[in-house]
Structure formats: C-alpha cells, structure tokens
Amino acid sequence: MSVQSKQRCFIGLGANLNEPVAQLQRAIAALAGLPASKLGQVSSLYASRPMGPQDQPDYVNAVAELHTELAPLQLLDALQQIEQQQGRLRKAERWGPRTLDLDLLLYGNEQLNSERLTVPHYGLAEREFVLYPLQEIAADLQLPDGRSIHGLCQQVPRRGLTVVTPAPR
C-alpha cells in the first residue's frame, strides 16, 4: 500500500447567513481538524457583494491553504460534511444565500474534471473574492495552466471587496 504524499490545496470559504464571520471561523477550525491534513495559511476575511441575486446579504469570504494526504474526492466529501454540520442546505437555486460554502479551488498542480469535481475550480480566475485572498497567502502561486495569481488579480477588479478581519499572523 503506497502512502500518498501531501498535496498543497486551497479551499475557498464563503458565507452570508447566520453570522458569516463565525461560520468561517468554525469552518477554519474544522479544516484544521481534518484527518491526514495540516492547515497552512488562512487569508483575511473579506466582504464581497453576492454573485447571484442581489436581494441577499453580502458575503464574507476567505481562502485557506491545506496540506493533505486525502484524495481529491475524499477531501470534497470532508468539505461537504463540514458544510452540512454548519447547516448548509443544498438547493436548486444557484448562487443563493448560504450558511457556508467550501470550494476546493486547487489540489496541488492537478487538473480534474469529473461529474462531482472540477479542479482548478471553474470560477477561480474570474472571482475577486477568491483571487485576492489567494494572492494574500500565495502571491507567487501559478495555476496548472501557467497563469499566475498575481497576473489574474491585475485583470480582475476588486468590485468593492474589503477586508473585514485581518488574517491571523
């Protein structure tokens, strides 16, 4: 039996219901407790406008670095379990309000495309609430296709993205 080496992954966190800052703090603690994993850096918490319907509260977003031996789908299952434990209900409505959203943004340098999981995350390169927190904790990061996070941030405006809580240092 081979032991999988730890992969450097990045998880996007978002919430806009039931005390979003507290939701993200609990989610970060849950990420730190994942088996065969070690939590790395965590970005500041950022306020952002909703992507979808505008008749919902603003979001709080962050990005966390995770070093894990979990396979991609095992990690996805663990993230979805954390969401459910924090009251996430999956509805047909896309981009609606939610207690917690955890997205696997990057899994090492892998490119995956299955029914359940696409990595890098399909919206990573266009979403300011992902790019700027990611740049904060991994400024020299390059996507598997060679694009740099720094370069993407220069192309995507902040759209009102502001720091709510600075990253723990």
* All structural domains of the chain: 7-165 (3.30.70.560)
Among the listed residues 49, 55, 58, 103, the single catalytic one is: 103
Cα angle 9-108-27, degrees, rounded to a multiple of 5: 10
Question: 19 CB contacts (<8 Å, ≥6 apart)?
Answer: none
Whether 148 shows a pLDDT value over 60: the answer reads: yes
Among the listed residues 88, 94, 116, 127, the single catalytic one is: 88
Active site residue 58: no
Whose CA is closest to 142, among 167, 114, 119, 108? 108
Among the listed residues 26, 58, 90, 101, the single catalytic one is: 101
Among the listed residues 8, 49, 94, 98, the single catalytic one is: 98
Give 56-113 pLDDT, tens digit per residue: 899 999 999 999 999 999 999 999 999 999 987 666 556 668 889 999 999 999 999 9
> How far, in Å, CA of 47 to CA of 5, rounded?
35
Give 15-41 pLDDT, tens digit per residue: 999 999 999 999 999 999 999 999 999
Active site residue 101: yes
Active site residue 8: no
Helix (H, G, I), strand (E, B) or coil at 71: coil
